């Protein structure tokens, strides 16, 4: 892999980073790209995992709010490694396995985590049939821009 001098990377150190083969965040110049964030703790244990049926599918979506909250906490941890915050986020992609439940949970948690009724970033929500980890109901990607130039 070619290393670029203006590229910085960060990861959480969870097992699936090496299994899949990726980093959690990449900064190039003034832009930070975060891979899809999940609701895990620092040890890689899932926070608020969904209860699954015999086929490995979620049986309810009541854990979405708790999963969103931890997902945003994980994003904040990564952004901080680059000297950024959620205030620097310009775009996010929200992936949920149930859109009505996900929309309700994300609407509440996003406002809480950004600290405002209308977070100042573009956001899209996508309904998906499943995520990489069956116990996950939500995943969020982020793009942040840090303008380091003097105003």
What is the pLDDT of the chain when averaged over all its residues? 94
Assigned CATH topology for domain 7-145: 60s Ribosomal Protein L30; Chain: A; (3.30.1330)
pTM, whole model, 2 decimals? 0.93
Residue 151 has pLDDT above 50, yes or no: no
Q: Give the whole-angstrom CA distance, residue 73 versus residue 59.
A: 25
Characterize the bridge pairing of strands 25-28 and 7-10. antiparallel
Q: pLDDT digit string (tens) for 113-142?
A: 999 999 999 999 999 999 999 999 999 999
Q: Which of 101, 100, 95, 93 is nearest to 129 (CA)?
A: 95
- Residue 143 in tokens: 């793009």
Q: Give the whole-angstrom CA distance, residue 105 versus residue 99.
A: 10
- As a whole number, mean pLDDT of residues 67-93 equals 98
7 pairs with which residues across the strands? 28
Q: pLDDT digit string (tens) for 44-79?
A: 999 999 999 999 999 999 999 999 999 999 999 999
User: What band does 150 get if pLDDT is binned at 50, 70 and 90?
Assistant: very low
Q: Which of 104, 106, 90 is nearest to 142 (CA)?
A: 90
Q: What is the pLDDT of residue 6?
A: 84
Token pair 């190039």 is at which residue?
28
User: What band does 147 get if pLDDT is binned at 50, 70 and 90?
Assistant: confident
Q: Give the whole-angstrom CA distance, residue 19 versus residue 99.
A: 29
Tell me if residue 90 falls in helix, strand or coil. Answer: strand
- As a whole number, mean pLDDT of residues 6-13 equals 94
- Residue 93 in tokens: 């992609």
Residue 5 has pLDDT above 80, yes or no: no
Q: In the structure, how many helices (H) and strands (E) does the chain have?
A: 3, 6
């Amino acid at each position: 892999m070619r290393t670029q001098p203006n590229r910085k990377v960060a990861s959480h150190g969870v097992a699936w980073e090496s299994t899949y083969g990726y980093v959690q965040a990449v900064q190039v110049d003034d832009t930070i790209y975060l891979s899809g964030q999940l609701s895990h703790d620092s040890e890689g244990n899932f926070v608020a995992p969904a209860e699954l049926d015999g086929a490995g599918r979620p049986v309810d979506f009541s854990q979405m709010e708790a999963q969103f909250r931890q997902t945003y906490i994980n994003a904040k941890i990564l952004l901080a490694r680059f000297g950024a915050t959620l205030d620097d986020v310009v775009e996010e992609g929200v992936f949920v396995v149930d859109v009505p439940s996900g929309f309700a949970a994300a609407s509440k948690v996003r406002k809480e985590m950004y600290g405002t009724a209308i977070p100042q970033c573009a956001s899209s929500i996508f309904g998906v049939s499943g995520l990489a980890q069956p116990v996950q109901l939500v995943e969020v990607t982020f793009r942040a821009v840090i303008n380091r130039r003097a105003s």
